[in-house]
Structure 1
């Protein structure tokens, strides 16, 4: 992994800034939520204290004191009188919560919904009966099949179940001693696949403020004992009271109303006695004000940042027993209904329930009159957290982006310096082993600058050493010539006298060694002179094809023991260079090929021309190059000839050929043939 990627990965640590900001926002939201709950609790305590001081507002009917729970029935306020057709379409539109009526086994038998409009009480009763038994008029019984009984404060009304048609309500008249029909009870029956349904209306004055419902289910229309029964009538036979909202309590509750705050007072059984205000989304819907659109993505993003836990849905019109059936202050968070248009902003609703108790001491616990429930949407909190989140997000995102750009820029700049130093180190030595003098100098005093200076100092030392080695041959040649001349003159004088046979042999061997040493010094001197003369050679444009033909013929005449073959494209091959130097380069390659190729074999010269370069190959049969000598062959004083050093080959021929190739900005390589039969020398000359 390169340095830039490492720094990019390291810069990802800046993401800790937005994460810390989110954690901070969550703590702020938690503190604001707790503050909202405390505010709602204070509001509920104030209202509860007011109602405890005036219990007639919340419990005006003393008849309910001591009545068993479940006996009372709640009258929902109806905006208009429903049509008594037995179908109950108006009831379903109001989404009222029905009262379940289980049988003696706890299984659901029926459900009833009661409402009041003006002075009329309305009832929607839905019974579950797969095989209803209808009244048989041929029997003398009052109701031979399924029966619905309505109990009021004065009378008991029997309603025989019919498959379709109007309701026939019968009650016992003690003055006449017989059952009569009550015409003030109006309603209609309808049958369904799941049972039957009753829609009924009766004057509130007829109930006397008390009402109970009893459902009898018979298997046959024989007036026998019911198989199942469900009832709200207590064991003492006295109907429960009808509970409805209290206008005086409603008026008192309006004094505590505030915008976006819903206040609800319920009795000890959870029936709503008064309600003021509304949650913000509901209030806006009632006022007909459309909510802001197009904010759902931003609000969803804020909810993800806050990481709120999954909340139970807010009940429609009622509250769970946790808030209505205990004597302790309780608080809960709900999620607003999905059809609440304001839920897109913040779908949390906080609710606090405070009990209303007249007085409690260590001896006697006074009865619970009811509870005050204060509910408020968290949309007000969301405006605060949204503002804080926006500022925090902009700051952290800007800081993280700036740090990321700085780190990325620094990584790019540092990587560029390292790559520059790497390229300079790779190109510090040319193909001939010479040191280049364009190594960059640092301009900063950091670690990379120190490394750059160390490389430059090292290469300068190597250049001095290389220059010393390059001049060593000429120095040795100059310094050794005088003692060598003394040795040779002494040997000549020695040979002029009379020598024994053994002394003559040693003198000849000494003379032979001196001659070889003189030849070596001459070769070194010639190589140095040739290297100096190469740089001063003049260039001209000539036909490379013609030069190769002339040289190939000369090589064939000079070495009759080998066959020389030239393969070249037809026509002129113009090249700009020094023809004498190129001829000398080919002489070195041809001499090398003749030295290693077996007698009678073919030495092949091949020229390929492209738009950018000429490629010249000299190929011969013979031994392969030793491993690792592909480039070492062109160094000075390197040779792979196995002649015991007697031929005086110093490895300068290929070195000179390499110098000539560098003069023409070309490349010279030595490789083995693909089939392993010999060696190929390749010269690449760029075309102008």
Structure 2
């Protein structure tokens, strides 16, 4: 893994900043919501204390004292008069919560919804009965099948179930000793897929503030014992009290009203007695314009940041039991009301705190629970504050993380560029001829990488000095050894001119031959140094490379008749820029090497191949193969692979001079064995 990727991975640690910011936002949100709940609780305690001091406001009807739970029925205020057609469409539009009626086994059998409009009480009853039994006219009783019974404070009314048609409410007149029809109770029956439905109305004065409903289900229309019974009539036979909103309590509650706050007072069973403040169930003004996109993604993101789960919707008329069925202060968070079609649970949080209203009495008698005060407030203000903080946090952390990432990426790129520069300089410190280049860069930055760069530069400078010393060593030795070598040779000549025995003369001649060889070596070294200097000072010109190769091939054929020469060369001119005399000398060295190794009578192949960007000139001969690892060492100074022991005076300078000429022309000289293993091929690549 390169340095840039390592620093990029390291920069990912900056993602801890948004995570820490989210944790901080969660703590802030918890503190704000806890403070909101405490404020709602304080408001609820103040209202509960006021109602406890005036219990007639919340419990004006003493008939409720001691009545069993579940006996009371709630009258919902109706904004419009329902149409008594038996279908109940107006009731469904109001989205009121019905009262469930359970049979003896505890299974749901029917449900009832009551409402009041002016002086009339309206009721919608729906029963689940797959096989209803209707009244048999031949029966002597007033209702031989399924029956609905309505109990008021003074009278009981029997309503025989019918599949369709008006309601016939029958009551027993003791003065006349017979059942008569109550015309003030009006309504209509309709059949439903699950059973039957009843919609009726009666005067509120007829109930006298008390009402109970009982539903009888018979298997057959024989007037026998009902198979199932469900209703609200207690065991003592006395109907429960009708509960409805209290106007005086409503006026008292409005004194505590505040913006964005909903105040609700419920009785012991959770029925709403008074309510004031904002209504989240209202539609119209609070809804967003049609076609406006909802920020669901932003809401979901904030819920994930604040770790808030989906909440149950705020109920309209009845709160959960944990807020109404105990004597302790309770609190709960709700979501947007289920009547809002454009909202999803959790889009808006609504906090509700329930405070009990207990009468003031002594410590011996248990103080009765009159009801509860429920204060509710939306967390939209807190949410706006949290969203604003979250937005600033995300912008700040994103900007900080992005800036850090860019800085680290830029620094990694700059550092990687410096390392690549150092690697490139170290790779190019030595040229193809093995010479050290003296242009190694020296940085100005005093860091560890700069120190390493300067150490490389110092090391290469020392090596260059040593290389210069080695390159001048041959000329120095040649100059310094010539005088003592001349003395030795003159002494050997004088000694050979005298009278010597056979052994002494043989030793003298051997010493003379060694001196001659040493003299030739010194002359070759001196000639090589002078040739290298002349190569660097040669002039370049434009010439025809094909014509030069053809002329040299003919010369080689004349000079070496014991070998055959073959040339492959284009007939068209091949323009080239360089020193033709040096290239001719390079080919002389290659051909001389080929002639010296090729068997007598063999063929030496020469070829000139023009390619797109270069000329390829090759000299190939049969003979012994190159030893392993000598592909490039052949072109070094004083390197030879001949097996004559050096008697012929070959010092390995010919191919070295050929490489110097190739470097002068910015070409590349290489040697390799033939693919068929029959000999060696030398290749020169010259740029066009």
TM-score tier by shorter-chain length is over 0.9
**Does 2:117 match 1:109?**
no
Contact kept? 1:345, 1:382, Cα under 8 Å: no
Pair 1:68 & 2:68 matched: yes
User: Partners of 1:37 and 1:439 in 2: how far apart?
Assistant: 74
User: How many angstroms does 1:669 deviate by?
Assistant: 1.7
Secondary structure of the structure 2 residue equivalent to 1:171: strand
Note the 1:433-472 alignment, pairs <5 A. Answer: 433-472=434-473
Aligned CA distance change for structure 1 residues 283 and 156 (closer, same or farther; 3 Å): closer
Q: Which residue of 2 aligns with 1:405?
A: 406
Q: State the partner residue of 1:272.
A: 272
Distance change in 2, residues 1:370/1:677 (3 Å): farther
Q: Distance in 1 between matches of 2:248 and 2:625?
A: 118
Q: Residue 17 of structure 1: SS of its match in structure 2?
A: helix
SS of the counterpart of 2:499?
coil
State the 1:392 CA deviation: 2.6
Deviation at 1:293, TM superposition (A): 5.6
Matches within 5 A, 1:587-666: 587-666=588-667
Give 1:294 shift.
5.5
Structure 1 residue 399, shift from structure 2 partner: 2.3
Match of 1:474 in 2: 475
Q: Contact 1:282/1:340 (CA < 8 Å) preserved in 2?
A: no
Rounded to whole Å, the distance in 2 between the matches of 1:173 and 1:202 is: 18
Aligned partner of 2:423 in structure 1 is 422
Q: Greater CA deviation, 25-34 or 477-486?
A: 477-486
SS in 2 for 1:604: strand
Question: Could you say which residue in structure 1 is the equivalent of 2:573?
Answer: 572
User: Over residues 170-192 of structure 1, what are the superposed CA-to-partner deviations in whole Å (9 max), with x where a residue is unaligned?
Assistant: 01111111111111110101112
Tell me how far apart the structure 2 counterparts of residues 117 and 284 of structure 1 sit (CA, whole Å): 22
Matches within 5 A, 1:40-79: 40-79=40-79
Q: In structure 2, what is the equivalent of residue 247 of structure 1?
A: 247
Residue 227 of structure 1 deviates from its aligned partner by 0.9
Deviations 1:221-253 (A, max 9, x none): 111111111121000000001110111111111
Q: TM-score, normalised by structure 2?
A: 0.96
Counterpart of 2:132?
132
Question: What is the CA–CA distance in structure 1 between the aligned matches of 2:512 and 2:271, rounded to whole Å?
Answer: 136
**Cα offset for 1:16?**
1.9
1:534 aligns with 2:535: yes
> Do the aligned residues in 1 keep the contact of 2:150 with 2:157 (CA within 8 Å)?
yes
Which stretch shows the higher mean deviation, 167-176 or 630-639?
Answer: 630-639
SS at match of 1:430: coil
Whole-angstrom distance in 1 between the partners of 2:335 and 2:625? 87
Q: Deviations over 1:138-168 (max 9, x none)?
A: 1112111111101111111111111110011
TM-score (norm 1): 0.96
| Structure 1 counterpart of 2:674 | 673
Conserved in 2, the CA contact under 8 Å of 1:300 and 1:344?
no
Secondary structure in 2 matching 1:75? strand
Kept in 1: contact 2:155–2:171 (CA 8 A): yes
Question: Number of matched residues?
Answer: 686
Relative distance call for 1:334 and 1:195 in structure 2 (3 A) is same
Contact 1:332 1:351 in 2 (8 A): yes
CA contact (8 A) 1:424 1:440 kept: yes
Distance 1:108 1:268 in 2: 23
Return closer, same or farther for 1:532/1:344 CA change in 2, 3 Å cut-off: farther
Alpha-carbon RMSD across the aligned residues, in angstroms, is 1.9
**CA 1:500/1:288 → structure 2, altered by over 3 Å: closer, same or farther?**
closer
Alignment of 1:232 with 2:232, yes or no, is: yes
CA contact (8 A) 2:146 2:218 kept: yes
Distance verdict in 2 for CA 1:286–1:582, change over 3 Å: closer
Deviation track 1:413-446 (CA, whole Å, cap 9, x = no partner) reads 2222221111111111111111112211211111
SS of 2:429 mapped into structure 1: coil
Q: Kindly provide the CA deviation profile for residues 639-672 of structure 1, in whole angstroms up to 9, marking residues without a partner as x.
A: 2222222222221111100110111121112223
Shift of 1:499: 2.5
CA distance in 1, matches of 2:30, 2:632: 76
Q: Is the 8 A contact 1:296 1:345 kept in 2?
A: no
Of 322-331 and 426-435, the range deviating more from structure 2: 426-435
Deviation at 1:460, TM superposition (A): 0.7
Distance 2:270 2:397 in 1: 49
Equivalence map 1:192-211=2 (5 Å): 192-211=192-211
| 1:99 counterpart residue number | 99
Name the residue aligned to 1:157. Answer: 157
| CA shift digits 1:89-141 (9 cap, x unpaired) | 00111111111111101111111111111111111110101111100101112
In the aligned structure 2, how far is the partner of 1:396 from the partner of 1:457?
Answer: 46
Counterpart CA distance in 1 for 2:109 and 2:294 is 47
Measured after TM superposition, the shift of residue 360 of structure 1 is 6.1
**In structure 2, C-alpha distance between the alignment counterparts of 1:66 and 1:502, rounded to whole Å:** 155
Moved more, 224-233 or 382-391: 382-391
Does the C-alpha gap of structure 1 residues 289 and 346 become closer, same or farther in structure 2, counting only changes over 3 Å?
closer
- Rounded to whole Å, the distance in 1 between the matches of 2:249 and 2:395 is 50
Check if 1:375 corresponds to 2:385: no
Does the Cα contact within 8 Å between 2:212 and 2:231 map onto a contact in 1?
A: yes
Contact kept in structure 2, 1:603 and 1:618, CA below 8 Å: yes
CA distance 1:196–1:315, shift in 2 (3 Å)? same
Greater alpha carbon shift after TM alignment, 365-374 vs 314-323? 314-323
DSSP-derived class of the 1:305 partner: helix
Q: 1:677 to 1:267 in 2, by over 3 A?
A: farther
The offset of 1:534, in angstroms, is 0.8
Cα distance, 1:129–1:348 mapped onto 2, change above 3 Å: same
1:639 and 1:649 in contact (8 A); partners too: yes
Q: State the Cα distance separating 1:295 from its structure 2 match.
A: 4.3
Could you tell me how far 1:322 is from its partner in structure 2?
0.6
Asked if 1 retains the 8 angstrom alpha-carbon contact of 2:311 and 2:345, the reply is: no
Distance in 2 (alpha carbons) for counterparts of 1:262 and 1:603: 110
**Structure 2 match to 1:390:** 391
Tell whether the 8 Å contact from 1:543 to 1:575 is kept in structure 2 after alignment. Answer: yes
Q: Whole-Å Cα distance in 2 between the matches of residues 203 and 284 of structure 1?
A: 31
CA contact 2:303–2:309 (8 Å) conserved in 1? no
Cα drift, residue 506 of structure 1: 2.1
Q: Quick check: 1:27 aligned with 2:27? A: yes
Tell me the residue number matched to 1:507: 508
Shift of 1:284: 7.4
Moved more, 67-76 or 629-638: 629-638
1 CA distance for matches of 2:361 and 2:634?
113
Give yes or no for contact 1:133–1:220 (8 Å, CA) kept in 2: yes
State the Cα deviation string for residues 465-508 of structure 1 (Å, max 9, x = none): 11001000111111111222222222222222232332232222
Q: 1:90 corresponds to which residue?
A: 90
**TM-superposed deviation, 1:6:** 1.7
Change (3 A) 1:96 1:344: closer
In structure 2, the CA distance between the partners of 1:15 and 1:401, relative to structure 1 (3 Å rule), is same
Q: Distance in 1 between matches of 2:534 and 2:71?
A: 127
Query: How many angstroms apart in 1 are the aligned matches of 2:282 and 2:420?
Result: 68
